[in-house]
Amino acid sequence: MKFITETDLRDLYKVQPFTDYDLQEGERLTPGARQFLLDRGVDLYDRNDPYADIGTANFGSAKEAKASPAKPLGDKKKRMFLAKFDLLKADFLLTAKEMLDMDVCASQQLTGLYRQFAQLSEVAEGTCNVPDLVCNACTGITGENFSCNLGCCFAITEFHMQMPKGKQMLLLTKLRSEIEVFDVEAEDLIGDANLQQQLSAKLNQIMNTLAQMICAAMGGSECQRPA
């Protein structure tokens, strides 16, 4: 089995931008590669069994997705989505404010993530054209898995609350968990699988950045994510 990565596609795209991509038998796209094609509206023809892909929903071709754009959420689901969304926006800002006296740089980084998250309100209208976050790669998080749900780098326990930056770690962990809950709840509100996948990818980027911030608050230079 050969896996086509986002890096492979980026290299091809730099040489010659393309509008169609033919995935041959025995080839699979990584989640990052599939998102790369979706973000650029590239038509994908997959010769493989549609259920054999790795870790992502099968979207068919990007052409089909463009031919049938996602519809805005219904009134009730839209109200629920935006209510949960606004609640999480407030949690972002409250966390950034609490951290302001503990770590100004971390608070500013969190405010930047808030701005990224705030753009995702457009999902309620059936679109998700928010640019990707920049991945600051580490041992456990790379450009290839940045858009995947990788979970927390390590479990937070009562031990960590005694550390110098224990409160900061707890606040960031709480916010990361709230984003994951929102992602799960959004599945019941968004009827379009493609749109849901795009939203999840953007949320995963934010959650993975928060996981890196939690690691940084713990201190040390070694990645805490299990191999």
End position of a domain, from candidates 67, 84, 118: 67
Whether 224 is in a domain gets the answer no
In the three-class reduction of DSSP (H, G, I as helix; E, B as strand; rest coil), residue 178 is classed as helix
Range 128-136, long-range pairs (CB < 8 A, 24+ positions): 128/195, 128/198, 128/199, 128/202, 130/202, 132/39, 132/202, 132/205, 133/202, 133/205, 133/206, 133/209, 135/205, 135/208, 136/209, 136/212
Whether 227 is in a domain gets the answer no
**Which DSSP helix (H) or strand (E) runs through 207?**
helix 193-218
Does residue 50 surpass a pLDDT of 60? no
Does residue 178 surpass a pLDDT of 80? yes
Quote the pLDDT of residue 64. 40
Q: How far is CA 102 from CA 8, 16, 168, 171, in A?
A: 41, 48, 7, 11
Are both 93 and 12 inside the same structural domain?
no
Whether 40 is in a domain gets the answer yes
Are both 35 and 126 inside the same structural domain?
no
Total domains, the chain: 2
- Burial classification of residue 36, based on how many CB atoms lie within 10 Å of its CB (0-12 exposed, 13-18 middle, 19 or more buried): buried
Are both 39 and 131 inside the same structural domain?
no
Whether 32 is in a domain gets the answer yes
Contact 202, 86 (CB under 8 A): no
How crowded is the C-beta side of 104, counted as CA atoms within 13 Å?
A: 0
Quote the pLDDT of residue 224. 62
Are both 139 and 38 inside the same structural domain?
no
Contact 179, 206 (CB under 8 A): yes
Mean pLDDT in residue range 61-72: 52
Contact 201, 147 (CB under 8 A): yes
pLDDT in tens, 148-175: 988 887 777 778 777 778 899 999 999 9
Are both 58 and 87 inside the same structural domain?
no
In the three-class reduction of DSSP (H, G, I as helix; E, B as strand; rest coil), residue 60 is classed as coil
pLDDT in tens, 10-29: 888 887 778 888 888 778 88
Tell me the H-state helices in 40-165.
62-67, 75-100, 104-118
Better-predicted residue by pLDDT, 83 or 151: 83
Mean pLDDT in residue range 113-140: 93
| Structural domain that includes position 11 | 2-67
Are both 122 and 53 inside the same structural domain?
no
In the three-class reduction of DSSP (H, G, I as helix; E, B as strand; rest coil), residue 140 is classed as coil
Mean pLDDT in residue range 66-81: 78
Mean pLDDT in residue range 76-85: 96
Quote the pLDDT of residue 27. 83
Does residue 71 surpass a pLDDT of 70? yes
